[in-house]
Amino acid sequence: MPGLWQRVSPECAHEWTPAVPEAAKLIKDAVGNPLADGDTVTVVKDLKVKGFPTAIKVGTKVRNIRLVDGVGDHDIDCKVDGFGPMQLKSSVVKKV
């Protein structure tokens, strides 16, 4: 008998576990707070940005984030003042 999340094909009785829906994926910040679209976060460590002479400094506020399934571990799509649009890792931000 299949488990709660398992599916069974009615034709061949093959059992499989479907992928976790996007709504069920929980993204947390550096200290474990859950993040949501539209949140405001602060950067918790200096971030070097390719092509810019300066880094994004600790304490920089980033408003109106959007959670995405980005490249690698980058799961936040945002616009940083002075740097423009970019993707950040949730492990380098803290929810305000």
Helix (H) or strand (E) holding 62: strand 61-62
List, in order of start, the domains of the chain with CATH numbers.
23-95 (2.30.30.40)
Which residues in the chain come in under a pLDDT of 70?
A: 1-8, 13, 16-24
Measuring CA to CA, which residue among 12, 33, 34 is closest to residue 25? Answer: 34
